[in-house]
Amino acid sequence: MPCYGKRFSSLLLGLLLLSVLASGWAADISVRNPNLSAGDDGYTLAADFNINLNARLDEAIARGITLYFVVDFELSRSRWYWLDEQVISRSQTYQLSYHALTRQYRLSSGALHQSFASLDDAQRILSRLRNWQVLDKGSIKVDQTYLAAVRMRLDLSQMPKTFQVNALANRDWNLSSDWARWNFTPVETAPFTATGTPTLAAPGVDAK
């Protein structure tokens, strides 16, 4: 009996260690500090993201597969007599890739791109969203409360078709944050100048 008890305890310990290791490699995204700020032409969005990639996603990038991260923003207004009214819905795509020839990682959004020596550096910039103009001037009413929401997700639909089948069937690729929601009430304030362009560069670093 003592022998079986020791084997059972060892088995439980092994399962516990596997569970801890699996959770340590789990991929996830979370949203922190979402904020809307008034600018000359409307309101710009800023947010921070905690992005944890697992070994499978790290390997995919190293093999030259581009990952498409999408930031979604929504603004709605509650109505007591009907469903909530969606005021605006916007999305912004960021491409994360690795170039074997230059041995550099690249983060792109539209015509804007930056190169990095390490994946950690690229993720650090990807995690900081700044100056994305999501609301035009006059598109919302002052002193009325709205519900703002933002999330980040890995978009498999933009990847090569031959790759999508395997990715969709594997939960390691199911990467998305929960919606971060907060009440937003626009007020009349002295505007500051905002570019209206989502920023990939950290303070003091120029996009190349």
Q: Which residue has 């170039």 as its token pair? A: 99
| CA pair distance 3, 184, nearest whole angstrom | 63
For residue 119, the 8-state DSSP code is: H
Q: Which residue has 């190349």 as its token pair? A: 208
Residue type for position 117: A
What count of other Cβ atoms lies within 10 Å of the Cβ of residue 202?
A: 13
pLDDT average, residue stretch 85-104: 94
Retrieve residue 154's tokens: 């890995």
| CA pair distance 206, 208, nearest whole angstrom | 6
What is the tens place of the pLDDT at every residue in 161-190? 766 666 666 777 888 999 999 999 987 654
From the list 97, 58, 67, the residue with the least C-alpha distance to 158 is 67
Is residue 206 predicted with pLDDT exceeding 70? no
Retrieve residue 147's tokens: 């519900």
For residue 158, the 8-state DSSP code is: G
pTM, whole model, 2 decimals?
0.76
Backbone phi and psi for residue 109, each to the nearest 5 degrees, phi listed first: -150, 105
Task: Please provide the average confidence, as pLDDT, over all residues in the chain.
Answer: 80
pLDDT average, residue stretch 40-46: 93
